[in-house]
Structure 1
Amino acid sequence: MPSIDLRCYLVTGAGSREHVVDVARAAVAGGSRIVQVRSKPISARDLYALTEQVALAVGDRAHVLVDDRVDVALALRHRGIPVHGVHVGQDDLAVRDVRALLGADAVIGLTTGTRELVAAANELADVLDYVGAGPFRPTPTKDSGREPVGLAGYRELVELSKVPVVAIGDVTADDAAELAGTGVAGLAVVRSLMSAADPAAYAQRLIRDFEQGRP
């Protein structure tokens, strides 16, 4: 599997295409090394165009993933656009099929958030790069229907998981040190990076505090 720095994981959110691309570029300049292009609701064509612009803006400095749409990732990779994989949910294409389609070099993440879902993901550890687990706390960005995980919950999920765990769900830089102490591999951030006055400085702060909080 490719080596991935999950510490500061940008998930793109609402805003114009120009804003999303600008935030991605700045966050990567600040040290973010993984960007998931997510913008719901959005058509496949619009997601394709947005992902292409993000990928070209950040170049080889970060892994760029497409949310849910394996077809969009495949099409862009076929054209040689630097898109590195996908993040899929529990109702998307099966992870083993995703791996078969995208190949051994692709990055594949899966949404979890409960002990049962992490245990099921362990059966896919040979084809998964990481799991996203959340929500850390309730968030208006995405209603998963799951109970908040909380700090104690992440410790349990990290201990159980056979692959790296990324915390998501209203995560901010203020949480970085405490969450790092649970053993998670990284923090997926949507709103606090998308709305930051200086996304580069925000990413730098998050990574610094995450490193300070690591066990």
Structure 2
Amino acid sequence: MRPTPDLRCYLVTGSGPREHVVDVARRAVAGGARTVQVRSKPISARDLYALTEEIARAVGDRAHVLVDDRVDVALALRRRSVPVHGVHVGQDDLNVRDVRALLGDDAVIGLTTGTRALVEAANGFADVIDYIGVGPFRPTPTKDSGREPVGADGYRALVELSEVPVVAIGDVTADDAGVLAGTGVAGLAVVRGLMGAADPAAYAQRLISGFEQGRR
């Protein structure tokens, strides 16, 4: 049976010393983040494997841990019963039907989109994916997708179009939580806001509070 991840506060890890990345993940989850995507580019498969395992052990069963892009890394960790729950893949990665076949029915699979055409295409995989990432919300230095910013108004239309939950990403901050929640998105993926926070737990709590207020 496929799990239903809590996507409201979704940490995407950034680059930096391994100890810092693991510490931010631990503290963000303590503050309420319930999905953690391990993304630390550029990174070797071996280093991504080690980092993901350390984060998964650190957060335990309090969050869903996903690997960015590397289905092989996720599969290898799951075969060892490390608590890794799935992957988030991009448009140039493995076909999500193949990903589902490899990881099994209990895995969480997310897919990157960001335009109306990509969301429509993702609807064709609604039976095998659990959510889509839609962005960028605004221009961001952490990832150049080449797509135009979606903006708050753009999310409303894409949420209505999508057959699976939508996660907003792309320089999203806790200050945006209320506005974005009002568009109907299921959650907010945050990189810099959490990775650079003096207190990641407090930041996660503020984001979730703003999100809940925004969708009332």
TM-score, structure 2 as length reference: 0.99
Rounded to whole Å, the distance in 2 between the matches of 1:77 and 1:3 is 18
Which residue pairs with 1:189 in the alignment? 190
1:144 paired with 2:145, answer yes
Uncovered stretches (5+) of structure 1, i.e. residues with no partner: none
Which residue pairs with 2:21 in the alignment? 20
Superimposed CA distance per residue, residues 97-136 of structure 1 (whole angstroms, 9 cap, x where no aligned partner): 0000000000000000000000000000000000000000
Rounded to whole Å, the distance in 1 between the matches of 2:152 and 2:203 is 22
Amino acid at match of 1:46: D
Superimposed CA distance per residue, residues 165-199 of structure 1 (whole angstroms, 9 cap, x where no aligned partner): 00000000000000000000000000010000000
1:158 paired with 2:162, answer no
Amino acid at match of 1:44: A
1:12-161 to 2 correspondences below 5 Å: 12-161=13-162
Rounded to whole Å, the distance in 2 between the matches of 1:202 and 1:14 is 19
Structure 2 residue matching 1:146: 3-state secondary structure: coil
Deviating 4+ runs (over 3 angstroms): none
Which residue pairs with 2:213 in the alignment? 212
Amino acid at match of 2:154: G
How big is the shift at 1:14?
1.5
Structure 1 residue matching 2:197: 3-state secondary structure: coil
Structure 2 residue matching 1:117: 3-state secondary structure: helix
Rounded to whole Å, the distance in 2 between the matches of 1:103 and 1:75 is 13
Rounded to whole Å, the distance in 2 between the matches of 1:48 and 1:42 is 10
Superimposed CA distance per residue, residues 56-106 of structure 1 (whole angstroms, 9 cap, x where no aligned partner): 000000000000000000000000100000000000000000000000000
Count residues in correspondence.
Answer: 215
How big is the shift at 1:3?
1.4
Amino acid at match of 1:32: A
Amino acid at match of 1:37: V
Rounded to whole Å, the distance in 1 between the matches of 2:20 and 2:157 is 37
Structure 2 residue matching 1:174: 3-state secondary structure: helix
Amino acid at match of 1:214: R
Rounded to whole Å, the distance in 2 between the matches of 1:202 and 1:90 is 30
CA RMSD of aligned residues (A): 0.5
Which residue pairs with 1:174 in the alignment? 175
Rounded to whole Å, the distance in 2 between the matches of 1:80 and 1:104 is 16
Amino acid at match of 1:48: Y
Rounded to whole Å, the distance in 2 between the matches of 1:29 and 1:68 is 25
Structure 1 residue matching 2:20: 3-state secondary structure: helix
